[in-house]
Structure 1
Amino acid sequence: MSHVTGTNADLVARVRRIAGQVNAVERELTADASCTKVLHLVAAVRGAVNGLMDEIIAEHLEAHVARPGLSDEERAEGAEELLAVIRRYAK
């Protein structure tokens, strides 16, 4: 994923925050917290993962589909890769 090198630190920071959120879910489940509290935490994790996915999709589009100078073949390959990921994510 060399095209996101400039934002890797930001992406890693987001992943670490997500890991912290997942750990919070585990702690609350272990502590026998209320369903409502756990559901709110899980919803926050889902939102954070969706935000991370959006950021990486945008980076992919810019680097592998919309970047000037790409050949038609490169654009098609970038679009196919992205479509495969979106289909898997949507399941």
Structure 2
Amino acid sequence: MPKQIEDKKKITLRVKKIQGQVQAIERALNDDTSCAAILQQICAVRGAINGLMNQVLEVHLKDTLVDGDSTELQRSEELIEISKILKSYLK
């Protein structure tokens, strides 16, 4: 969870935009929109999700590894956990 209110607001706004994009895909499917147009919307959502991942990761690293009051052992464990998450995400 982002510690800074401004970070939280930016991330929440990004999630709301993604929700709007996904709803647009659902409407397009119900309106029999062309497959090409739907695929283009899916690509946009994928890009938005990647941006969200980058933003949350950046905030998390800043909050836990840079600004956090964690010990060296805690930072090491956090890096291992983040590494596992990134490997899973990049599959």
Gaps of 5+ in 2: none
What is the RMSD of the two structures over their aligned residues, measured on CA atoms? Answer: 1.7
- What percent identity do the matched residue pairs reach? 34
Larger RCO (CA under 8 A, 6+ residues apart):
2
Please give the alpha-carbon distance, in whole angstroms, between the structure 2 residues aligned to 1:78 and 1:39: 36
Aligned twin of 1:25:
25
Aligned twin of 1:77:
77
- For the structure 1 residues 68 and 31, does the alpha-carbon distance in structure 2 shift closer, same or farther, using more than 3 Å as the test? closer
Q: TM-score, normalised by structure 2?
A: 0.87
Per-residue CA deviations over 1:13-41 (Å, capped at 9, x if unaligned) read 11000000000001111111111100110
Please identify runs of 4+ aligned residues in structure 1 that moved more than 6 A.
none
Per-residue CA deviations over 1:2-23 (Å, capped at 9, x if unaligned) read 5344311111111000000000
Aligned twin of 1:43:
43
Aligned twin of 1:63:
63
Gaps of 5+ in 1: none
